[in-house]
Structure 1
Amino acid sequence: MLKRYLLPVVIFVLATVILVFSPSLSESFRPAALGQQEFARAQVIEVLEQNLLRDYRVPSVVTGDQRLNVRILEGSQQGAEVEVHNSLNRLHNVHVAAGDRFILMVREGAVRDVHWAYNHDRAGAVYWMLGLMVVLILLLGKMQGLNSLISLYFTGALVIGVLIPGLFAGWHPVLLTVALMALKIVVNFLLVAGYNRKSLVAMLGTLGGVIVAGVMAQYFGEMAQLNGLYLDKGEDLIHLSPDNALQIRWLLFVAIMISALGAVMDVAISMASSYHELREANPQQPESERLLATINIGRDIMGTMTNTLILAFAGSSLTTIMMVWGFQMPLMQFMNIPAISLAMIHALAGSIGLILTIPFTVICASVLYNHPRFQRRNG
């Protein structure tokens, strides 16, 4: 029983240690904060004055301005009451009433501090959804569900506590990402499926698939004269790394490896499980027939999973596609918009990696399950 809980506990503690100590270890090369400002929750005591109109194009939105008396609920100015001028437009629309809570930005000024209604307090909705997801995973998945959550927590620790600081420190993005994703893959399958041949096959298939996806994104991205600068906020990163330690060029590889990992893991474990179950059900079945049957299963999986990646691109670019249609943009113009080209290359690179995960995993399964060393072991 203790062995069952040992690995999850070790991984949980390791992830926590990474998150706790990473900020202090990376302080020397972390970009300096821009300006002295803090964000705190505040509550509207009274709306002193307001001049609001319904937006004639979006009636659910009001524009104009408000003058508010608010109480700061936390931070260095906790308990203070301040007057805030709140300007409302379509994009920045923090419309509040007496009693409402919102996020207030406090910035030090030469004469007096500046207080600005930064945004609605949206964290509550996210936390409630996160809590609901955790409860559902634990109710339906029980111990395996708990292991999945620990694996997700470990992934967050690797990305936030190791990958991001490592990129700013100047470590090579490709080597760093491959190493961290390999570690993530091993930990994930050990937690979810245990240590056995099926897990080992899925690990190798996943790693091969995501590396192919990263190589495809980098190669065809550079063929299309694209680089990490064209990623969302990519250009801003240059100003956060004035010593040029951050290697922007390779961020396409990093981004696609991270985004494609989940789908590739699903395909790899599905293929490994399919081969394993076919072998268990009929040990006497010729290997060629078993491989063909597993590939046939993979074809069905491939059809849905490639749609997942392409539709994710379509969903994230929905408003852009609508603009293209609305302006009757020619195909030549549409295809050569950097953001569109980059998104399509990412979706296609992920799909190629996912497709090749199927034969990778099947080959690994055939080799490992039929190797004399592994045949003497169970599982």
Structure 2
Amino acid sequence: MNVLIWLAGILLILMILVGGHKGARSFIAIIYNFAVILFTVLLMTVPNADPIIITIIASTIISCINLFYINEVNRTTKTAFISTVITIIMLLMFIFVFTEKSMIQGFGEEEIEEIGIFTLFIGIDFIKIATAVIIMSTIGAITDTAMAISSPMREIFIHNPTISRKELFFSGMNIGKDILGTSTNTLFFAFFGGYLGLLIWFKDLSYSLGEIINSKVFSAEMITILCAGIGVALIIPVTASITAYYLVKARNQNKH
């Protein structure tokens, strides 16, 4: 417990030193997001509750916290939020279908020993739970990418107010190309960093490469990473087009 407090304190001090007032708000936003996730988990245990609807509402709240609470309400955060909502809607059915077809819901055989004494008839649709996990894992990467594209585009527009919508769009796409590789690699290495122990366990159990790939635990995490990567790739043109349209439209309205 003391270690957690010390690390949290160090993080808070560094965020304030580097980010000032916005850094402090960012730290508070972490607490808010944690509270939203805990409340979401509690709601999912309510009988007849739909995990996907609960997750969509929670993801919307998390997006509002990360965008509007930290960076306030402005053109940049508005376009980033709209882009995030559109991308999540595009991904929703895609994620649900792939979750159902890949059969990654529920528990893997590696976890059977720990849960063998419990009943699995708990009245929850595990396909929807798996879908909710992927959506929740995806929302952070999508929101970050949307903000990372919308903000530079706004700066480009401010310094070059006569730029055309097409030129502004392609500027956003060029920014997105630089972000795409680093964002997807961040997701990839976050998985291997968090599941290094699992991979060592696979080695100790003498799993072949085929057995590792077909393991439900491994497949579920890889599908989550791939869906998040798809979301990051999709939100780049979505954010670039919406931001370009919004900024140029506002300029034209001001002229009149």
Same fold per superposition (TM over 0.5):
yes
Cα distance in 2, alignment partners of residues 165 and 232 from structure 1: 26
Partner of 2:184: 306
Is 1:221 aligned to 2:99, yes or no? yes
Partner of 2:174: 296
**In the alignment, which of 28, 52, 56 is matched to residue 150 of structure 1?**
28
Q: TM-score if structure 2 supplies the norm length?
A: 0.86
Partner of 2:156: 278
**Equivalence map 1:1-379=2 (5 Å):** 123-161=1-39, 163-169=40-46, 170-212=48-90, 215-230=93-108, 244=123, 246-322=124-200, 324=202, 329-371=207-249, 375-376=253-254
Q: Identify unmatched segments of 5+ residues in structure 1.
A: 1-122
Report if the CA contact (8 A) 1:206-1:265 is conserved: yes
| AA partner of residue 44 (structure 2) | L
Q: CA deviation at 1:318?
A: 2.2
Q: Identify unmatched segments of 5+ residues in structure 2.
A: none
Q: TM-score if structure 1 supplies the norm length?
A: 0.60
| AA partner of residue 303 (structure 1) | G
Cα separation, partners in 2 of 1:220 and 1:241, compared to 1, 3 Å = closer
Q: Give the aligned length.
A: 253
| AA partner of residue 185 (structure 2) | N
RMSD: 3.0
Residues 273-304 of structure 1: per-residue CA shift (max 9 Å, x gap): 12111111111122212211210110000010
Larger radius of gyration: 1
Q: Give the share of equivalent positions with the same residue, in percent.
A: 25
Tell me the SS of whatever aligns to 2:45.
Answer: helix
| AA partner of residue 215 (structure 2) | I
Q: CA deviation at 1:210?
A: 4.3
Cα separation, partners in 2 of 1:231 and 1:196, compared to 1, 3 Å = farther
Report if the CA contact (8 A) 2:79-2:246 is conserved: yes
Structure showing the higher strand proportion among its residues: 1
Cα distance in 2, alignment partners of residues 273 and 372 from structure 1: 16
Cα separation, partners in 2 of 1:131 and 1:346, compared to 1, 3 Å = same
